[in-house]
A and B are shown apart, each in its own frame.
Chain A
Amino acid sequence: MLDPDLVREVLVAARRRGGSFAELFVEERTSTAIRLDDGRVEELTTGIDRGAGVRVVIGASYGYAYSNRLDRASLVEAAEAASAAVRGEAPGRVVDLTRRQGPGTNRVERPADAVASATKVGWLREVDDAARSTSPEVTQVVGVYGDSVQRRLIAASDGRWVEEERPRIRLVAQVVARRGDVVQTGHYGPAACAGLEFLDRHPPRRIAETAAERAVTMLDAVPAPAGEMTVVLGPGAGGVLFHEAVGHPLEADAIDKEASVYVGRLGQRCASELVTGVDDATVPNGWGSFDFDDEGEPAQRTVLFADGELQGFLYDRIRAEKAGVASTGNGRRESYASPPIPRMTNTNILNGSARPDDVIGSTERGVYVVNLGGGQVNPASGDFVFGVSLGFLIEGGKITSPVRGANLIGRAIDVMQAIDAVADDFDTWEGVCGKDGQAAPVGSGSPTLRIARITVGGTGG
């Protein structure tokens, strides 16, 4: 994307006053966003973004300068501005840059930008049509399509230099169903770092039908029971809980600030021995996958829990250096306009050996959760509350009525200890995680798993 001599010149300028290291991040991103609201194209926007950020780090402080001008003068000026964080030292060294090749984690068969927007609008019309055909009770349908390609260059004063192209595609259906005064919503929006072949696995009609069935199903929902009970999380749902309640407290900035329930517990049993959990940026075409993180570290698979034992935290360069360990490749940023921070990638609980039917069949009474909605977690204490957007009663080992208004209330460590069954039907869920004002695409995943006892907040008896 840039001439190597220019990259080197920028890094030399950034190190003019020394510091621990200097880094250049350059990106170019093209994107298409389409929103079809009740059959009308409400938004159709195509954008081209580009910019570069220069970071100069000294200890835990940093200078960060960015610009969307990519010419020599602008880049050198940004480098000099970022170096203002360091004062009164001798210039630092810039090691000869060596380009590293990535393994090609996010290969694309059919690029999305090769297809006209009219075709993409056509997919959303299919979503609208399929959702309405599902049931006469469907009253509103919103379809959202987005694709983008982000080309990145990362180079740093320790000689690293990587370039990578990240493709993204997502198709979301939001459906409202109404019966009399009862209104319910259903939502489904798979995503991947892939090309249009993604739609072969997730045809627009199927996405729409899934969202519509969820909305219509919930019309029959009864108030959720309240109290301590057994909860079975369906495939994918446990990953969301794992990401929010367990993953965030394992990010190294929370550990560094001692604002995490897992401080000082490495090597301890912090979860049921059925739980093995990883953060894995190497999953092919995963929503949180890449060849290199946004600091140029190779993607890794980091074991967080092995048979229930806490084994690792998620590091970026600054926190790794402070803790005297190697980065785990979790330095991520929203764009050139933000410095990197420790973030999850794809955070998964791995398959166990139980069969999902047996897990449900052996549950006398409880709640079966298909989908979790919004949640709140206090990373310092591990306390969390999650809404259940789609759930059912389990009665006599069978899934029965849908329930509404259910919340799961618990504490990360207790709940992870209380997992007493893990099945073998792993599935994923793709989301956008917000932290420190930066949005990041993240994957999460899990098989069906059972929490022996957890508090369910509901309005029913």
Chain B
Amino acid sequence: MAERDRPSLDVLARAALDEARGDEAVEAYAEEGRRTEVSALRGEVEGITVAESRGVGVRVIRDARLGYAWVADPSLEEVRAAVRRARENAELAEPDPANGLPEPEPAEPLPQLHRPASARAGTDETVARALDLEAYATSRDPRVTRVDLVQVGDAVSAMHVASTSGVDVGYERTDAWCVVVALASDGEETQTGFSFAIGRGWDEVDPHPVADEAVERGVRVLGATKPATARVPVVLDRYAATAFLGVLASVLSAEEVLKGRSPFAGRLGDRLGSELVTIVDDGRILAGPGACPVDDEGVPTARTELVAAGVLAGFLHDTYTARRTGGDQRSTGNARRGFRSPPSVGATNLYLDAGPLSLDELLARAEGGVLIQEVSGVHSGVNPVSGEFSVGATGLRITGGALGEPLREMTIASTIPEMLLGVTGVGSDLRFLSNVGTPSVLIGEMTLAGR
């Protein structure tokens, strides 16, 4: 990143500490990033976005009162002024004994996150990559001549956090990704097929297979019909399973538990799912896009088992929720934030642990059932408090151990607990589509409502 006589992030963050008074805790979080994104349509560049940002957010805790202030691209003096503003804000807040900053802990760095040589392409190279991907995606199948979206991007970013309790840590990372939304058409009918890949560098992201997958996912549901309502075995592919696990991620946050917005409050040690279900958050897995050596308060990340062989084993915590929970609860390294707001609880890499079965083996166990490849309305359709949901689904009939006729306009109405208890097989094909990853999952029986 070009420095141009600007203070580095660590110097910026430490500048806040100069301003701290003896009776207060001060923390500064500094971040910066640069991202290039190119989208292509009909053989042309549709849009190019080059984004650069930098900012600092400051927390001041005084008499258990928390104040916050932030500033974009500040000078050292502006960081110190932000401390004074945060202090004024703290004076007006109510005291909360759970407000506090973490003590420093040694963190093992993850140098593999930062690979600028393989991630940072020039804009012209990114344009060429986007145009090539769009041309490739529209040449694989006569039914796919258009895309809804082809986008290629890369980014380099960094953070540093420093506090009066002694935290002084940061890291850099790189990302490269591509997205294809193919439009498959046959007569009047149009279906979309989505695929996505992300890695720390271009050597980890192969765009053509992404286009192939998007094309296949669009084409294979052409001609889909609405099936009769039936109770059948269901295989959730990784896209569908990821949508559900994303909802689970939010109800496994201690913040949601403390605010009374999780169905899992007070249920530690209870069986929530089949013993095949193990859900883990692990910020140190490099395959996950959420990998980081420390969280956004500087607490080292770790492997946190949330559901162990079907039993609720823990929640995601930041320093505030750990202190408020009390006992020996410690932060699990799950504070997430941007510089414009104070930290809150979020996942790093949250995943359903892989099982031993290939997708073919899962399909073989689901004879007469349905592979679901897409669900819609998950975020509005799932009640995070009760866990009830009703979502729309698109998929394929499983016949003779293989994928058969396409099906659409199905609805699945169930509850998250019922679904977790119903898991009878877990695939070995774990993949991270975002910072949430899953393998394919077999659910013994679900009601698919159709005709």
Contacts and interface: CB of A to CB of B under 8 A. Distances in A.
Interface of A: 40-41, 43-51, 61-71, 73-74, 77-78, 81-82, 84-85, 116-118, 121, 337, 339
A9 to B, nearest CB: 16
Contacts of B92: 41, 44, 117-118, 121
B71 A61 contact: no
B93 interface: yes
A310 to B, nearest CB: 30
A66 B93 CA distance: 35
A117 B89 contact: yes
Nearest to B66: A44
A70 B52 CA distance: 11
B188 to A, nearest CB: 15
B78 A48 contact: yes
Contacts of A71: 4
A333 to B, nearest CB: 13
A174 to B, nearest CB: 16
Nearest to B53: A68
B53 A67 contact: yes
Nearest to B93: A41
A49 B72 contact: yes
A48 B72 contact: yes
A61 B85 contact: no
B443 interface: no
B69 interface: yes
Interface string B238-280: 0000000000000000000000000000000000000000000
B315 to A, nearest CB: 21
B228 interface: no
A65 B51 CA distance: 6
Interface stretch (B39-47, B149-157, B415-423, B429-437): B39-47
B123 interface: yes
B50 A61 contact: no
A61 B54 contact: no
Nearest to A44: B89
Nearest to B4: A73
A81 B53 contact: no
A70 to B, nearest CB: 7
A419 B17 CA distance: 64
Given A49-B340, A51-B72, A62-B47, 19 more contacts: A40-B94, A44-B93, A46-B69, A46-B70, A47-B71, A48-B71, A51-B73, A64-B49, A66-B50, A66-B51, A67-B52, A67-B53, A68-B55, A68-B73, A71-B4, A84-B50, A85-B48, A117-B92, A337-B51
Contact of A77 (B2, B54, B93): B2
Nearest to A62: B47
Contact of B50 (A45, A51, A82, A117): A82
A61 B47 contact: yes
Nearest to A49: B72
A48 B78 CA distance: 10
B229 interface: no
Contact of A45 (B55, B69, B124): B69
A370 B55 CA distance: 43
A61 B53 contact: no
A289 to B, nearest CB: 26
Interface string B1-27: 010101000000000000000000000
A21 to B, nearest CB: 16
A43 B99 CA distance: 13
B2 A73 contact: yes
A45 B127 CA distance: 39
Contacts of B47: 61-64, 85, 339
Interface in B28-62: 36, 44-55
A47 B53 contact: no
B53 A65 contact: no
Contacts of B50: 63-66, 78, 81-82, 84
Interface string B119-130: 000011001000
B101 to A, nearest CB: 18
Given A50-B73, A77-B2, A45 B49 contact: no
Interface in B140-164: none
A73 B4 CA distance: 8
B68 A44 contact: yes
A64 B38 CA distance: 10
A68 B53 CA distance: 5
Given A117-B89, A117-B92, A47 B48 contact: no
Nearest to B49: A64
Interface in B72-105: 72-74, 78, 82, 85-86, 88-94
A447 to B, nearest CB: 34
Contacts of A66: 49-52
Contacts of A84: 48, 50, 123-124, 127
A326 B52 CA distance: 33
Contacts of A51: 53, 72-73
A47 B340 contact: yes
B424 to A, nearest CB: 38
B45 A44 contact: no
A41 B72 contact: no
B165 interface: no
Given A68-B53, A74-B4, A82 B72 contact: no
A117 B92 CA distance: 8
B4 to A, nearest CB: 5
A65 B74 CA distance: 20
Contacts of B85: 46
